[in-house]
Amino acid sequence: MDKIMNFLEEKVMPVAGRLAAQRHLTALRDAMVLTIPFIIIGSVFLILANFPIQAYLDWMAAHPTVKTTLLYPYNATFNLVALIATFAVAYRLAQSYNVDALATGATALAAYFTVTPFTGFVTGVNPETKANIIVNAMNQDYFTSKGLFVGLIIGIVTTEICRRVIHKNIVIKMPDGVPPTVARSFVALIPGFIAIFVVYLLRVGIEALNRAHFNLFGILDFTNITSIHDIVKVLLQKPLTEVGTSLIGTCVVMILISLLWAVGLHGSSIVGSVMVPIWLQLTSENALATAAGQVPPHIVTEEFRTIIQIGGSGGTFGLVLAMLFLSKSKQMKQLGKLAIGPGLFNINEPILFGLPIVLNPVMLIPFFIVPVIQTLITYFAFDLGLVHMLTGVVPPWTLPPIIQGYLLTGSISGAILQLVMIVVTGLIYYPFFKIMDNKNYKEEKEAETPSNTKKAIVG
């Protein structure tokens, strides 16, 4: 066990630390964090439009205008995450380079609109020619999580272009008397133009390859590719989705989260910077299916992680309950009392660093095992139809368990699933917890013995 701990400290921790501090991953993480409030706001209205009580649903079906109205905020928040993330990743990355973050974020949005394809919509029939009247408009499907990958890539690329142009001093400089706000807008002019022109050439080039039916080594058949969205889907999004959201892939992701926490790094944030865009894409598809009254198609989504991480990463809520009610040592009992409040709202730093679990060879064993067991139980519960599918609703991650399970699935079966997992994970943690509890209890008794002896002698 000492060899494992030394390996974690000497090999894993330095690499993980560098990853956590890497500016592009940090910008991705911050961008995804910014989307969360809007996703939650949209989820509230999605719940109101599809509240899981049959009488309520029947009333909604009889009053479709009410449901349509309730979905307005959902469409204005949940379905704009690609635009929010595009601006945010460029803004945060520009901040790290000390260049104008606001101008860079706006440039990234303009660049994203530049590469996003148009779609023709039939708006009526010409009374003279009897032909359909077609209006070309930007495809708003790409404003949702469907365009999230491209938005993040465009945000990073445009920021790098702007940053390099600015650092080479290829900017318009205004006289000293010009107000700073006006001067900054002119400084952003040339970098912004170059960034947008580059992505414009990219779009024109892809469309030219599409018209030529170009085939790149059998990997990219441009006959079926009309935009960068299609390229990203073929090369990046689809493979990552198929691997990262499979049963085995999800288990690996959960182990990676635990591995990073094992050396004191925020595993959910680091891994989430890569996986959250994938999970949110599938969350959005589940939400669209729910809004349309259909069965949600995906098991592993952003809410899948939420429903299994009861008490936080490692599913530590069962451990907190064991500490609170089954401890013999005063230390463990007191820590259980301190941790039950945060744990109820899925905050487990008091346990991770107070017990501790971090760099603790005893507690790291269940900390790695529990997420895998949770993943297996939850995945098969959905796959076998024992639990209602995740509806695409994303309530606050601090929502207490059982209530959370009910809202995530729109069914009592989700609440029962979380209750079962609390029991199972508590049983897994119990023997390892008792090793520490017995050790602490023995030490407390030994600490009391000299004091008692001294009192007896004095007496």
In terms of pLDDT, which residue wins out, 412 or 270? 412
What pLDDT does 240 receive? 76
Task: List beta partners, residue 121.
Answer: 135
Mean pLDDT of 176-190: 84
Low-confidence winner among 2-16, 134-148, 371-385 (lowest mean pLDDT): 2-16
Is the separation of the CB atoms in 307 and 417 below 8 Å? Answer: yes
Q: Which residue has the tokens 């706000």?
A: 181
- Whether omega before 356 lies within 30 degrees of 0, making that bond cis, reads yes
Predicted pLDDT at 359 = 77
The stretch 119-124 carries a mean pLDDT of: 63
Three-state secondary-structure class, residue 399: coil
In terms of Cβ atoms closer than 10 Å to its own Cβ (0-12, 13-18, 19+), residue 341 is exposed
Residue 123 token pair? 């708006």
Contact between 350 and 373 under an 8 Å Cβ cutoff? The reply is: no
Q: Pick from 259, 257, 429, 264: which is nearest to 353 by CA?
A: 264
Residue 30: both structure tokens together: 């911050």
Q: How many CB atoms lie within 10 A of CB 123?
A: 10
pLDDT band at 124 (very low <50, low <70, confident <90, very high): low
Cα(352)–Cα(348) distance, integer angstroms:
6
**335-369: pLDDT as tens digits:** 999 889 888 988 888 888 888 888 788 888 899 99
Number of Cβ within a 10 Å radius of residue 400: 15
Q: Which residue has the higher pLDDT, 247 or 124?
A: 247
Work out the number of other CB atoms within 10 angstroms of the CB of residue 255.
Answer: 17
Structure confidence by residue, pLDDT tens digits, 51-93? 777 788 788 888 889 888 988 998 888 888 899 999 999 999 9
Check: CB of residue 37 under 8 Å from CB of residue 291: no
> What would the pLDDT profile of 275-328 be if each residue is shown by its tens digit?
888 888 899 889 888 888 889 999 999 899 889 999 988 999 999 999 999 999
What is the average per-residue pLDDT within 248-267? 86
What is the DSSP secondary structure assignment for residue 125, as one 8-state letter? E
Please state whether beta strands 132-138 and 118-125 pair in parallel, antiparallel, or not at all (unpaired).
antiparallel
Q: What pLDDT does residue 326 have?
A: 92
Instruction: Please write the tens of the pLDDT for every residue from 220-240.
Output: 888 888 889 888 888 877 777
* Residue 14 banded pLDDT, cuts 50, 70, 90: confident
pLDDT at 5 over 60: no
In terms of pTM, does the model score above 0.85?
no
* Amino acid identity at 402: I
Residue 213, helix vs strand vs coil:
coil
Collect all residues with Cβ–Cβ distance below 8 Å to 99 and sequence separation of at least 6.
Answer: 159, 162, 163, 166
What pLDDT score does 456 carry?
A: 46
pLDDT at residue number 429: 94
d(CA 250, CA 242): 10
**Tokens matching residue 64:** 């479709």
273 within 8 A of 28, measured Cβ to Cβ:
yes
For residue 457, pLDDT beyond 60: no
Average pLDDT (147-162) is: 93
380 phi and psi angles, rounded to 5 deg: -75, -30
